[in-house]
């Protein structure tokens, strides 16, 4: 079955309660970190296996591990990994910049921005400004004006394309000519739909585009034949299903704990690449790289 949490943690929690009573053996989701964090305790306490394809907030698996829940996994990377990569890039390539760190006040956006901020501070860098930015009541324009007043020339913004796209438009409209960097939730054509040419030059930490990989050809072709473009975390979700099916075959069981043990003890060849998990349920090699948007597409940044 398919279900929609409507991007609401409260709805995700209520949905989790319904799913645990439905007889389901696997939940692939949720999309937003806030929703996964709200629903995960319900699934875990019921022994229902959860594999999140896009929940990057570190506390998702950390909390599960510390609570003794062993049925929680993710097929994407963690924000502390991509945040550290972003900070290393900034320190190496923009050491003399005046840096603004912005976020959208969500577990994903603020969580990732705070990781970048902390990682930079351990390397001796301190931001010129730190703000929550919203596209309401002139908030974006006010933030951009403050950036210009403070002579900021590098911005790290944690948030989704619905936050980053409008920010890029407002910043470029105001004449901001500096560099903007964000996280992997923006690996989506909708960013370009919102920002258009204002997205040119946007830096982004995410894994290599899985659609181009040899092992993804069959899944990509099948999804496109159905009118679906498998961008973002789509193939990560496909991989979650494949991993569960293979683990069920290995273990001969649908029991969440038994299948979870099989997942931890095997390596899986999927359309999202080779995936193995550590004890916490995190992917061993998330494959993050610094990438750059240009002309509505993103690719690995040369020399990053």
Digit-coded pLDDT (tens) for 156-175: 999 999 999 999 999 999 99
pLDDT > 70 fraction of the chain, expressed in percent and rounded = 98
Q: Span 10-20, mean pLDDT?
A: 96
Helix (H) or strand (E) holding 50: strand 49-52
Strand order in the sheet with 179-183: 129-132, 99-103, 154-158, 179-183, 203-207, 288-294, 297-300
Rounded (5°) CA angle 33-34-39: 95
What are 102's strand-pairing partners? 131, 157
DSSP per position, 110-174: HHHHHHHHHHHHHTT---SEEEE--SSTTHHHHHHHHHHHTT--EEEEES-HHHHHHHHHHHHHT
- Can you tell me the distance from the alpha carbon of 278 to that of 81, in angstroms, rounded to the nearest whole number? 14
Q: What pLDDT was estimated at residue 138?
A: 63
pLDDT > 90 fraction of the chain, expressed in percent and rounded = 92
Per CATH, the homologous superfamily of domain 79-208+288-300 is Response regulator (3.40.50.2300)
Residues 6+ apart with CB under 8 A from 12: 5, 30, 34, 35, 36, 38, 39
Q: Does the structure show a pLDDT above 60 at 129?
A: yes
- Please, what is the average pLDDT of the chain? 95
- Can you tell me the distance from the alpha carbon of 109 to that of 185, in angstroms, rounded to the nearest whole number? 9
Q: Span 30-44, mean pLDDT?
A: 96
157 phi/psi in degrees, rounded to 5: -125, 125
Q: Span 196-205, mean pLDDT?
A: 98
Q: Does the structure show a pLDDT above 80 at 141?
A: yes
Give per-residue pLDDT as tens, 204-257. 999 988 898 999 999 999 999 999 999 989 999 999 999 999 999 999 999 999
Helix (H) or strand (E) holding 191: helix 189-195
Cβ atoms < 10 Å from Cβ of 175: 8
What residue spans define the domains of the chain? 9-76+232-276, 79-208+288-300
Q: Does the structure show a pLDDT above 60 at 137?
A: no
The CATH number assigned to the domain with range 9-76+232-276 reads 3.40.50.2300
Cα dihedral 159→162→167→168 (10° resolution) = 100
Q: What pLDDT was estimated at residue 2?
A: 85
Q: In a 3-state reduction of DSSP, which class is residue 297?
A: strand
**C-beta of residue 187 within 8 angstroms of C-beta of residue 249:** no
Q: What pLDDT was estimated at residue 131?
A: 94
Fold match flag (9-76+232-276 vs 79-208+288-300): yes
Q: Does the structure show a pLDDT above 90 at 303?
A: no
Q: Does the structure show a pLDDT above 70 at 135?
A: no
DSSP per position, 244-291: HHHHHHHHT---HHHHHHHHHT-EEEETTEEEEB-TTS-BS---EEEE
Cβ atoms < 10 Å from Cβ of 132: 16
């Amino acid at each position: 079955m398919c279900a929609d949490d409507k991007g609401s943690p409260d709805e995700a929690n209520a949905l989790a309660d319904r799913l645990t009573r439905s007889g389901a053996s696997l939940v692939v989701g949720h999309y937003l970190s806030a929703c996964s964090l709200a629903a995960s305790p319900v699934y875990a306490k019921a022994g229902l296996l959860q594999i999140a394809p896009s929940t990057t907030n570190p506390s998702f698996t950390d909390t599960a591990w510390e609570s003794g829940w062993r049925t929680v996994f993710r097929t994407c990377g963690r924000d502390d990994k991509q945040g550290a990569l972003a900070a290393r890039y900034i320190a190496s390539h923009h050491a003399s910049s005046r840096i603004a760190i912005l976020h959208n006040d969500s577990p994903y956006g603020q969580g990732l921005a705070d990781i970048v901020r902390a990682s930079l501070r351990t390397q001796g860098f301190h931001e010129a400004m730190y703000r929550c930015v919203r596209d309401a009541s002139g908030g974006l324009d006010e933030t951009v004006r403050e950036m210009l007043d403070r002579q900021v020339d590098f911005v790290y913004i944690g948030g989704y394309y619905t936050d980053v796209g409008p920010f890029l438009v407002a910043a470029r409209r105001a004449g901001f000519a500096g560099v903007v960097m964000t996280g992997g939730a923006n690996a989506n054509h909708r960013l370009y739909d919102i920002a258009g040419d204002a997205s040119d030059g946007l830096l982004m930490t995410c894994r290599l585009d899985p659609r181009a990989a040899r092992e993804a050809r069959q899944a990509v072709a099948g999804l496109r034949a159905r009118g679906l473009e498998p961008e973002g975390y789509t193939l990560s979700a496909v991989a979650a299903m494949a991993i569960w099916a293979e683990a069920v075959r290995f273990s001969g069981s649908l029991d969440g704990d038994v299948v979870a043990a099989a997942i931890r003890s095997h390596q899986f060849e999927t359309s999202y690449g080779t995936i193995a998990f550590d004890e916490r349920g995190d992917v061993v090699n998330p494959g993050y790289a610094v990438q750059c948007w240009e002309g509505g597409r993103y690719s690995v940044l040369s020399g990053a």
